[in-house]
Amino acid sequence: MPGYRNSIVFSTSCVFRRQGISKDSVIALIEKLARNDGISQEIPDIRNAQKQVEDVFKEDIAIIAGAEHLKHVIYPIIIRQMSYSLKSSR
C-alpha cells in the first residue's frame, strides 16, 4: 500500500526478529509480499525492503520496535481501507 510500505516492512521485521524468525525467512516473506502487492514490481523497491530487513537484524534486539509499534502502523491502514470501502459502496 503506497505510503505505508516502509513502516510495514520495518515493524513486521522487528516483530518477527523478536519472535526468533530468521532474517532469511523475513526477507523471503517481504520479497513475496513486495512482488505481489501490485505496486513494488520495480527491483529497487524490493531491494530497499531487503535492506530495511537487513538493517533491523543488525540492530541490538533490545532496542528494536515491538508489537505495539506494529499495531500503531497497521491500525491507520485498516481504518483508511474501511473508510475507503464504505465510500466506494455508496
> DSSP for 26-81?
HHHHHHHHHHTSSS--SHHHHHHHHHHHHHHHHS-TTTS--HHHHHHHHHHHHHHH
Instruction: Check residues 58 and 45 and name the one with the higher pLDDT.
Output: 58
DSSP character at residue 3? T
The count of structural domains within the chain is 1
Structural domain including 43 reads: 5-88
| pLDDT, tens digit (0-9, with 9 covering 90-100), for 72-87 | 888 877 887 788 777 7
Our separate counts of H helices and E strands in the chain read: 4, 0
Instruction: Kindly report, residue by residue over 40-52, the tens digit of the pLDDT.
Output: 556 777 888 899 9
pTM exceeding 0.85: no
Q: What is the pLDDT of residue 2?
A: 58
Report the range of poorest mean pLDDT among 12-16, 47-51, 67-71: 67-71
**pLDDT for the residue 51:** 92
* Higher per-residue pLDDT: 32 or 85: 32
